[in-house]
Structure 1
Amino acid sequence: MSAHFPATSRQAAEAARPYVLTAFRIVVGLLFACHGAASLFGVLGGVKGGGTIPFGEWPGWWAALIQLVGGTLVLLGAGTRSAALLCSGSMAYAYFTVHQEHALLPLQNGGEPSVLFCWAFLAIAVLGSGPYALDRLLGAREPAAEPAPQPTAVA
């Protein structure tokens, strides 16, 4: 078998991991930044038919600012872990303060985007930016993820 093609599906998955992680980070960051831009500037449909959130209004304007700035940082891979953790927390806050009071499940209370963004950003915060990120280009090193402990046989 050629050196360019992995021999097993496990090797193929390992070879694809950096590309998939980078693509995931870019897509999630872009979508989140678009939500912030829509709310702050009325672009991309804005809020409620093209409007914006009034400057400084709690919590909507601040959430939109986190979406725009945090999403852009994650998209670029700059300060990824910190930005992703802040974005994840903001979505958890949004879910429990805005959606949860209407019904128990996200499907019932309209909170699916908040839940999905929350967990996606938490995954990015844990996994890091991947090898193709602005931090890497500028020489900042992310701490390497610790390998998972291997199970040991008990005699």
Structure 2
Amino acid sequence: MYTRLNRAQPYALGLFRIVVGLLFACHGAASLFGVLGGAMGGGSIPAGTWPGWYAALIQLVGGTLIVLGLGTRIAAFVASGSMAYAYFKVHQPEALFPLQNGGEPSAVFCWVFLLLVFTGPGSLALDLLFARRSVEPGEDRAREQAPAVAA
């Protein structure tokens, strides 16, 4: 049974990445363009406003890259850092625990994206497509994946 689950792991991770990235991108689109309920239920954030506009831009661009699986680890690292900043600068000064300070989404997104930094994109990612193309035709993939031996 576990063998079947292990074979499905890259696909589950890929779907996880897509869903979380889409949710994150939707937050950015709502803040930047006033769609999906807009910033805090009303319009959009004025361009260049610190830190809200920049956070929304990171959410939209980073979330889109994560959905596509393009530069996933880097995009997830930046997204995780932005959510850590949001938690510690905006929410944590209000109260210690996320449940008390309204910082649950920031905390969860921060840890989810940090996990993606270490796990990678899973399957269904453009990163994998580009990685396959970088291997020369006829080149031995096993040799490429084998650890280098010092001479």
* TM-score, shorter chain, exceeding 0.5: yes
Distance 2:40 2:16 in 1: 28
Contact 1:78 1:134 in 2 (8 A): yes
* Number of positions where the alignment pairs a residue of Structure 1 with one of Structure 2: 134
Q: Per-residue CA shift, 1:9-30, capped at 9, x if unaligned?
A: 2212201101110000000100
Mind listing any 5+ residue stretches in structure 2 that lack a counterpart? Answer: 135-144, 146-151
Residue 71 of structure 1: aligned partner: 63
Residue 33 of structure 2: aligned partner: 41
**Structure 2 counterpart of 1:131, one-letter code:** S
Residue 130 of structure 2: aligned partner: 138
**1:111-130 aligned within 5 A:** 111-130=103-122
Contact 1:87 1:121 in 2 (8 A): yes
Kindly state the Cα deviation for residue 130 of structure 1 after the two structures are TM-superposed. 1.1
Mind listing any 5+ residue stretches in structure 1 that lack a counterpart? Answer: 1-8, 145-155
Q: Per-residue CA shift, 1:117-140, capped at 9, x if unaligned?
A: 000000111100113201222336
Q: TM-score, normalised by structure 2?
A: 0.85
Kindly state the Cα deviation for residue 111 of structure 1 after the two structures are TM-superposed. 0.4
RMSD: 1.4
Residue 19 of structure 1: aligned partner: 11
Distance 2:59 2:40 in 1: 17
Distance 1:12 1:61 in 2: 44
Contact 1:34 1:68 in 2 (8 A): yes
Residue 151 of structure 1: aligned partner: none
**1:60-99 aligned within 5 A:** 60-99=52-91
Distance 1:62 1:134 in 2: 25
Contact 1:33 1:68 in 2 (8 A): yes
Whose helix proportion is higher, 1 or 2? 2
Kindly state the Cα deviation for residue 87 of structure 1 after the two structures are TM-superposed. 0.2
**1:90-109 aligned within 5 A:** 90-109=82-101
Contact 1:36 1:68 in 2 (8 A): yes
